[in-house]
Structure 1
Amino acid sequence: MSVTVGTLGVVTGIERNELREVSAAVLAVATHLSVRDVLQTILTSARRLVGARYAALGVPDSEGGFSEFLADGITDEQWAAIGPLPRQHGLLGVLLSDPSPVRLADIREHPRFDWWPAAHPVLTDFLGMPISDGEEILGEIFLANKIKPGGFTAQDEELLELLAAHAAIALVNARLYERGRELTIVEERHRIARELHDSVTQKLFSLRLTAEAAAALVERDAGRALGELDTVRRLAAEAADELRSVVIGLRPPDLAGDGLDVALGKQIDVLNRVHGAVVRFRGGPIPRLAAAREEAVYRISQEALHNALRHSAAGRIEVDLVMRAGGVVLEVRDDGVGFDLSTQEHASRRLGLSSMRERARSAGGKLKVTSHSPGGTTVRLEVPVDQ
């Protein structure tokens, strides 16, 4: 079965599947796949669709080399034997400075042909295309050694131009995505600065004044000096709590880019640096969830950790994030003092539990909290995997 696609002529059902894969990969660049994965999909599809033995794609850096350089059609052993990544020389440099495609019967006859390492495959017919966004050249893609006799055709060139446009979309999306992350980081820094000014700075100012008063009283009124020192200890503890609250309250990192397991692991690394309790994380391969569901799981883990660190006096907290029976399971366990869920005694903690339960419902999940005093607390969340 075949269809006609514009001036590209007739393509087979297999080729249509290749094009569908490329489109899906480009659409996924800002949500599920890294830009490298997308570029690799485009490169592999280009080699198969055009019928070339070798293909490569390069994204230049600012130092005469390449920040990304991908190859297709060679084995890992061949790639390792070739050696270091190429520089922006010869035809590679031409494609990064001239927006015109290059189609040759033999690459070695081009005036800018330079050389290749001893382990490099011998290339003959060649088709190269700049990857451009308007007048800016973002990278290059090229194919070599057409499998069918006769070399690359004008139709091959047109198809590669289409795929290069897909690669440009992926690179531009990645650039915009990175700028968005940078703006988010700046906003978060401003928020933390405001919170530090509003709470921690005031506590530290009071602490300093109280310490100075205690120092002045040491020789003439030791009893009052001891009272002031007690206030110093209290203010220092409150300031430390405020700092820890700021850390725990950090907005979620880039869940879309990092994934839930990586984001949670990063958060726990931070907590281990600012808290006395030992927090251990065990994460397995987790499928991607809808953005709202991933944030709900992350926020519930944050609240459970906040409760354990602020209220349980735990020495050890364990966090598991794994796949079980078709769902994602989060468990946060501490070895602290526990509490009675039926009493009014830990009102702030019970308020946090209400928030967690509401988030679990919004994510279509189930939340179970068990606690024994003494004995510690376990928060278990199960959410289904998106279909």
Structure 2
Amino acid sequence: MTEPDDTDDLLDAVSAAVLAVTRHLSVAEVLEVIVRSARRLLGARYGALGIPDDEGGFAEFIADGVPERQRAAIGPLPRQHGMLAALLRGGETIRVSDIREDPRFGWWPKAHPVLTAFLGVPIRDGGDVIGIVFLADRVDGADFSDRDERVLTLFAAHAAIALTNARLYERNLELSVVEERNRLARDLHDVVAQQLFSLRLTARSAAATLPVDPEAAAGHLAEVERMAAEAGAALRSVIVELRPADLEAHGLAETLRRFTVTVGRVHRLATEFHWEGEIPLDKAGELEMLRMTQEAVYNAVRHARPRTVAVVVRGGETVVVEVSDDGDGFDPSAGSPRGLGMASMRERAHRLGGTVEFLANDDGGTTVRMEVPA
């Protein structure tokens, strides 16, 4: 690789590499992009990145420039020894012309490529070394220069931010999954479990009444059939929510459209969906908006007994989703509806810097209006 001729070209190259890292949100993707971008940026033949574990090894070790078959022949992940240990424990940059002549060098597995010129830089988060990135053997055969060292150090600093953000993002997703599981557990208890309990009581009443009043028993059995249908519909609703929405493949608008159609089919009611404008939300924002909309739709279905539910999505500088129904509605003089679902929607909107409004329609029914900044 040809070195940039001046500082502007160099900064452009570093900027492009850093953007390639920050474009990804998963830890695995960030690690791969860091080492690949670093190797290409400095024209190295080989590159690797290691994230240490607490047992003397590496939780992750990503190599770039080594063919897959050779990588498999090398064997398991390396331990924290030799030059890798020096980078991790010393926390200092290491640059040598021939790694084999350095006293800190240990050994390589038999299938490992023979390396000469070596440049290793720690990836720091504050005062902690959270990883190491190193390059070996420039393609042009030259040693790594002072300039190479400055560039890789600069890039490692940006990579540390991207890696930390990726970890926080994955942690946030884990917490969101736990939150969703807890909410679904409440739904199963509040809706399905209670309906099944009522169904059992009504069935017992039918059994007790049958010998003395067959007509009353028949009425109880009709009630059993109705409640069983309601419990089945509620259970299907929860199952629909358990299916992972493919936001990555379809985007928020199409995912909401498919969800709206599914709810109509499951609950045998009319649904409408309208969408206009671009929706400039990141993945976390799309997921929060999806969950809020699902909550609004299910609240209408479960509590308002609507004939029609409409979902309207409007993009732009702010993203607005409105869920309207023609159901029982609520008394505006009593304030907004309350409940766990409503509180959850408000919390999600607050995390995005947005708002949720519950509006009583003039002709009956309710509109839930969710608005978040792009």
Superposition TM-score tier, normalisation by shorter sequence? 0.5 to 0.7
Paired with 2:245 and 2:128, the residues of 1 have a C-alpha distance of 31
CA positional deviation for 1:147: 4.4
2:146 is matched with which residue?
154
1:300 to 257, 264, 270: 257
Query: Scaled by the length of structure 1, what TM-score is found?
Result: 0.62
2: CA distance between counterparts of 1:60 and 1:237? 55
Shift of 1:59: 2.2
Cα separation, 2, equivalents of 1:150 and 1:362: 53
1:141 and 2:98 equivalent?
no
Q: CA deviation at 1:103?
A: 2.1
Whole-angstrom CA distance in 1 between matches of 2:153 and 2:21: 15
Aligned partner of 1:201 in structure 2 is: 193
Aligned length: 281
Preserved contact between residue 131 and residue 168 of structure 1 (Cα < 8 Å): yes
* Kept in 1: contact 2:3–2:42 (CA 8 A): no
Shift of 1:246: 3.0
Distance 2:259 2:179 in 1: 20
C-alpha change, 1:89 and 1:210, in structure 2 (3 Å) is farther
Displacement of 1:122 after TM fit? 0.6
CA distance in 1, matches of 2:140, 2:32: 23
How far 1:164 moved relative to its partner? 1.0
Where 1:116 maps in the other structure, the secondary structure is coil
Q: Does the residue aligned with 1:124 lie in a helix, a strand or coil?
A: coil
What is the aligned counterpart of 1:260 among 237, 246, 249?
249
- Whether the aligned pair in 1 keeps the contact of 2:17 and 2:41 (CA below 8 Å) is no
C-alpha deviations, 1:161-197, integer Å up to 9, x for none?
A: 1111122112101111012212322332343344334
Alignment of 1:185 onto 2:177 = yes
Q: Distance in 1 between matches of 2:93 and 2:134?
A: 9
- Aligned sequence identity (%): 50
Choose which of 7, 10, 14 in structure 1 pairs with 2:6: 10
2:87 to 60, 75, 95: 95
Is contact 1:3-1:12 (8 Å) kept? no
SS of residue in 2 equivalent to 1:233 = helix
Alpha-carbon distance change, 26 to 51 in structure 1, aligned in 2, over 3 angstroms = closer
1:29-68 alignment runs, 5 A limit: 29-30=24-25, 34-68=26-60
Change (3 A) 1:74 1:12: farther
Give the CA deviation at 1:232.
2.7
1:80 aligns with 2:64: no
- Answer whether contact 2:83 2:105 (CA < 8 A) is retained: yes
Contact 2:94 2:121 in 1 (8 A): yes
Partner of 2:266: 309
Q: Give the residue type in structure 2 aligned to 1:228.
A: H
**143-152 or 294-303, which moves further after superposition?**
143-152
1:22 CA drift (Å):
1.4
C-alpha distance in 2, partners of 1:93/1:47? 21
Partner SS state of residue 80, structure 2: coil
| Residue pair 2:43, 2:139 contacting (<8 A) in 1 also | yes
Aligned pair in 2 of structure 1 residues 213, 63: CA closer, same or farther (>3 Å)?
farther
Render the CA deviation track for 1:132-184: whole Å, top value 9, x for unaligned.
10122221101112445663333322211111112211210111101221232
Which residue, out of 52, 68, 71, partners 2:63?
71
Distance 1:253 1:167, change over 3 A: farther
TM-score calculated relative to the size of structure 2: 0.64
Counterpart secondary structure, 2:78: coil
What residue identity is the alignment partner of 1:260? A
Contact persistence 1:26–1:169 (CA under 8 A)? no
Is the Cα contact below 8 Å between 2:73 and 2:111 reproduced in 1?
A: yes
Distance 1:222 1:169, change over 3 A: same
Tell me which residue corresponds to 1:164: 156
Where in structure 1 are there 5+ consecutive unaligned residues?
Answer: 262-293, 313-346, 365-387
Cα distance in 2 for partners of 1:72, 1:56 equals 6
Q: Tell me how far apart the structure 1 counterparts of residues 99 and 191 of structure 2 sit (CA, whole Å).
A: 67
**Within 2, Cα distance between the matches of 1:218 and 1:66?**
71
Letter in 1 for 2:249: L
In the TM superposition, what whole-angstrom CA distance separates every residue of 1:74-110 from its partner, at most 9, and x where no partner exists? Answer: 3333323323332333322332333212222332234
CA distance in 1, matches of 2:261, 2:85: 54
Contact 1:252/1:298 (<8 A) preserved:
no
CA 44–26 in structure 1, closer or farther in 2 if over 3 Å, else same: closer
Output the CA distance in 1 between the equivalents of 2:54 and 2:3: 43
Q: What's the offset of the Cα at 1:220?
A: 5.8
| Correspondent of 1:28 among 20, 23, 27 | 23
Alignment gaps of 5+ in structure 2: 270-304, 320-374
Contact 1:127 1:142 in 2 (8 A): yes
The RMSD of aligned alpha carbons is 3.4
CA contact (8 A) 1:214 1:229 kept: yes
Aligned equivalent of 1:323: none
**Deviation at residue 64 of structure 1 after TM alignment:** 4.3
* Cα distance between partner residues in 2 of 1:112 and 1:220: 94
